[in-house]
Amino acid sequence: MSPTPQRLQITAANPDPALLDLPWDVPLEQWPAETLAALPRGISRHIVRFARLSGRVIAIKEIGETVAYREYELLRQLGRLDVPSVEPVGVITGRRDPDGEPLEAVLITQHLQFSLPYRSLFSQSLRPDTATRLIDALAVLLVRLHLVGFYWGDVSLSNTLFRRDAETFAAYLVDAETGDLHDRLSDGQRAYDLDVARVNIIGELMDLQAGEFLDDEVDAVAIGDALAERYTDLWRALTEVESFGYGERWRVQARIDRLNDLGFDVGELDIMTDVDGTTVRIQPKVVDAGHHSRRLMRLTGLDVGENQARRLLNDLDEYRAATDRQAEDEAFVAHDWLTEVFEPAVRRVPKELRKKLEPAQIYHELLDHRWYLSQQQRRDVPMKEAAKSYVKNILPGRPDEQSILGVQASDLRETDVIPRVDDEIIG
């Protein structure tokens, strides 16, 4: 009897015909090196590989069929809910090897450009503030997921990617396999998720220490605890009921301002007064992350990270003041800022250096550089000049972060001479 031939079924929202050219009849573990984008890294339960496809990079994970469809659908829903997560490309089932033996289904996701795996960020020379910023980013992600009713089930650094966001980081969910979407999470679900996160993070850091990639001096338990603390603070700020006397109604606006400051818009705020009208209780009911990035998007069409947006908006404000146009419609000023300031500055970066960082991140660094030059030279250095110096002196020394898949830690900033992170998939 001849072997059962492979009959692939591809489920994808926008199928790319080039998908068919990949060697689906070969177990992922044995894919030829020329197909792969880089060696796979990180701790995973499953075999995961990266491959180049039509000029982009995709991540391919071998996983049971039902679980693959489920995760694909969950990632799509998370995308629709505007939660930072990797974008699912599709599911492929019906794989068979040339002998007709069935092979596992695969889930394909888009590699997140300019993202950094935690192993390249937490490393021997981890600065305490870098750890704090990464943990902050993860806390924000977890709060955002919980706000939309997503129970992760396996929060960990391995299941998260980080992207630079001005001086901070933004975290993205990579693995939704153990997750569930609910109308609303119970306190127990949130507490459990947070507890799992804490234990996993500490375990991952202890593992880095065991492999001598991270200094033993770093207190892994304290970092794990910091996450729990940050999460709890943020959750409280976003959801807590606040009571005050009728005379203190300014506190309504103050609460909204505080939430905006944290990067959240208030979609719905419950205001209740008691029977005799002496106390007011307020509670945010709907909050949406991305206050600054939405505002920048509205004004300029730029789609950037929350803190990058904050930085760019500040620059826009400065531009407005410097050109004395405070009275004008903000949208007009923003348009001029975009065409006269932002775009010319970013365009100064030669093509070959554009893989280093995202444009908004480059602009953020440019602002830093201009500030530094101005301090040094005790004068207001114009953007044009600052950009020239930045492109010449700073940017060439930056690593290419567009597609970091399993980097050698030493390729990255803040990570001096480190042995290569060279582990393999376990499990």
Decide if 158 contacts 42 (C-beta within 8 A): yes
426 binds other proteins, rule: CB under 8 A: yes
| Structure token digits, residue 163 | 């992207």
Per CB under 8 A, contacts with other proteins among 111-170 are 151, 158
Q: How many residues bind other proteins (CB under 8 A)?
A: 38
Q: Which of 160, 189, 293, 300 binds other proteins (CB under 8 A)?
A: 189
Decide if 160 contacts 138 (C-beta within 8 A): yes
Which range of residues in 177-185, 256-264, 321-329, 352-360 is near other proteins by CB under 8 A? 177-185
Q: Which of 195, 215, 242, 257 binds other proteins (CB under 8 A)?
A: 195
271 binds other proteins, rule: CB under 8 A: no
Q: Which of 11, 35, 44, 113 binds other proteins (CB under 8 A)?
A: 44
419 binds other proteins, rule: CB under 8 A: no
9 binds other proteins, rule: CB under 8 A: no
- Closer CB to other proteins, 55 or 427, in the complex: 427
4 binds other proteins, rule: CB under 8 A: no
Which range of residues in 78-86, 193-201, 306-314, 410-418 is near other proteins by CB under 8 A? 193-201
Give me the least distance between CB of 89 and other proteins, in Å please.
Answer: 20
Report the phi/psi class of residue 75: left, alpha or beta, with left for phi > 0 and alpha for psi in -120 to 50.
alpha
Per CB under 8 A, contacts with other proteins among 196-235 are 198-199, 202-204, 206-208, 210-213, 221, 224
Decide if 225 contacts 198 (C-beta within 8 A): yes
Give me the least distance between CB of 187 and other proteins, in Å please.
Answer: 8
Q: Which of 29, 129, 318, 424 binds other proteins (CB under 8 A)?
A: 424
| Structure token digits, residue 317 | 């404000």
43 binds other proteins, rule: CB under 8 A: yes
Give me the least distance between CB of 202 and other proteins, in Å please.
Answer: 5
Distance between CA 222 and CA 380 in Å, rounded? 42
State phi, psi for 344 to the nearest 5 degrees.
Answer: -60, -40
- Closer CB to other proteins, 35 or 209, in the complex: 209
40 binds other proteins, rule: CB under 8 A: no
Distance between CA 2 and CA 100 in Å, rounded? 8
Which range of residues in 85-93, 195-203, 364-372, 404-412 is near other proteins by CB under 8 A? 195-203
Q: Are strands 264-273 and 242-245 parallel, antiparallel or unpaired?
A: unpaired
Q: Which residues contact 282 (CB under 8 A, 6 or more apart)?
A: 241, 242, 251, 252, 255, 269, 270, 271, 272
Distance between CA 57 and CA 402 in Å, rounded? 10
Give me the least distance between CB of 247 and other proteins, in Å please.
Answer: 36
Give me the least distance between CB of 183 and other proteins, in Å please.
Answer: 6
286 binds other proteins, rule: CB under 8 A: no
Q: Which residues contact 247 (CB under 8 A, 6 or more apart)?
A: none
Give DSSP secondary structure letters for 99-112: TS-B---EEEEE--
State phi, psi for 103 to the nearest 5 degrees.
Answer: -115, 160
Decide if 48 contacts 158 (C-beta within 8 A): no
Give DSSP secondary structure letters for 286-339: EEEE-HHHHHHHHHH-----HHHHHHHHHHHHHHHHHTT-TTS-HHHHHHHHII
Binding stretches for other proteins (CB under 8 A): 43-45, 63-64, 66-67, 104, 151, 158, 177, 183-184, 186-189, 191-192, 195, 198-199, 202-204, 206-208, 210-213, 221, 224, 423-424, 426-427
